[in-house]
Amino acid sequence: MKLVRTTVAAATLAALAALVTTTPALADAPSAQRLLQAGAAKGVADGYPAVVGLVRQGDTVQYAAAGVKDLAGRTPADPKAQFRIGSNTKAFTSTVLLQLEAEGRLSIDDSVAKWLPGAVNANGYDGSKITVRQLLNHTSGLPEYMKDAAFGLNYAGNLQPYQTFAPQALVDLALRQHAPTSAPGQTWSYANTNYVLAGMVITAVTGNTPAAEIQRRIITPLGLTGTTFPTSDPTLHGNYLHGYQYPGGLGAVILDVTTSDVQTFGPAGAMVSTADDLAAFGRALMTGKLLPPAQEAELKTTVPIAANSTAGYGLGISHAQLPCGQWAWGHNGAVLGYFSDWLSSEDGSKQVVRANTEFHLMAGTKGQQDTEQASIDAYCAL
């Protein structure tokens, strides 16, 4: 088995364009909800402790839930409960940088070195040749720090839930992986390193942490009461779904990894949210509520992720044509114990959000495929 990075964006984006699905003749929210609910039940049968989600058509929201929120107490899964959203955090981070550009405080075509002199200057990498835009659309050419064997295994084993990491230390870990294999702007290659640096740029420009800026600019104005950006506390509080891990893959042993390190990913993947809040954020992002037209256009300017795929990557969000012919914006998030994703139409009128409460850092599992198929089928039914 191969250990993969804790986001499976590339694999999921490709799957969005490749899965075969049948679109129901009746297109409405109840039909979509039934498809998502059936997928949730299938996911639990595949071994997930819980699968939750929602479908939204206009102002009509319907929920799906199967399984239990915690295996010890056997409390039924609550579709309004919190979960770790992993790399769905990236859209929040990119939104802050685009807002800063709209305010004239930076340009996303500024070099990384302009704001972080010396931060990327080792092993052939040069921050003066990499732009903020290239960080946000993953064309910087920078390596993934999670590919460090010792670091990745410590995270996979949840051996350091309270460990602190300076952002620059994570960047340095990435730069040591290997020399550049492509010039900046040349190739799409997903790396959490990009968004650690993006968070560092936010701090350099504003003097505040990415968490503080996301709270002030997005969470509070949108009233996302179930959304937080933990920066030190690795525990969850209130109404939340427990996250679990099958060590090494699906098997008889399952571990509760709800308490897990948040500084491993920071602005690349540390946030906690709910299905309702992710839908509200996605709609606001899609419809220009968070960004003026120029920055909205930049957000949605995509680069191809693969030569044989219709999927493209914008600035913290992806775009793909589904087999039913419809297009969807969205992203996924995968951190220890949790896998989630969201799909939205261009106008924000149609949305599907889903979360699974098991992730063991392996992509392409049957549970992922079955529940992802259900999300796509539900979206196509709207």
Q: What is the pLDDT of residues 99-120, one digit of tens each?
A: 999 999 999 999 999 999 999 9
Q: How confident is the model at residue 24 (pLDDT cuts 50, 70, 90)?
A: very low
Is position 309 annotated as part of the catalytic site? Answer: no
Provide mean pLDDT across the span 219-235: 98
Sign (positive or negative) of CA dihedral 208, 214, 215, 218 = positive
Query: What tokens does 187 get?
Result: 């190739």
- Domain extents for the chain? 9-381
Provide mean pLDDT across the span 251-261: 92
Catalytic position from the list 31, 87, 273, 344: 87
Q: How confident is the model at residue 248 (pLDDT cuts 50, 70, 90)?
A: confident
β-bridge mates for residue 87, sequence order: none
Q: Give backbone dihedrals phi and psi of 260, rounded to 5 degrees, phi first.
A: -145, 160
Q: How confident is the model at residue 129 (pLDDT cuts 50, 70, 90)?
A: very high
What is the reported pLDDT for 308?
A: 78
**For residues 354 and 374, is the Cβ–Cβ distance under 8 A?**
yes
3-state secondary structure (DSSP) of residue 236? coil
**For residues 216 and 169, is the Cβ–Cβ distance under 8 A?**
no
Provide mean pLDDT across the span 172-190: 97
Over pLDDT 90: what percentage of the chain? Answer: 88
What is the reported pLDDT for 97?
A: 99
Which of 43-47, 219-223, 235-239, 305-309 shows the lowest per-residue confidence on average (mean pLDDT)? 305-309
**Rounded (10°) angle between helices 366-381 and 9-18:** 50
**For residues 355 and 338, is the Cβ–Cβ distance under 8 A?**
yes
As a CATH number, domain 9-381 is: 3.40.710.10
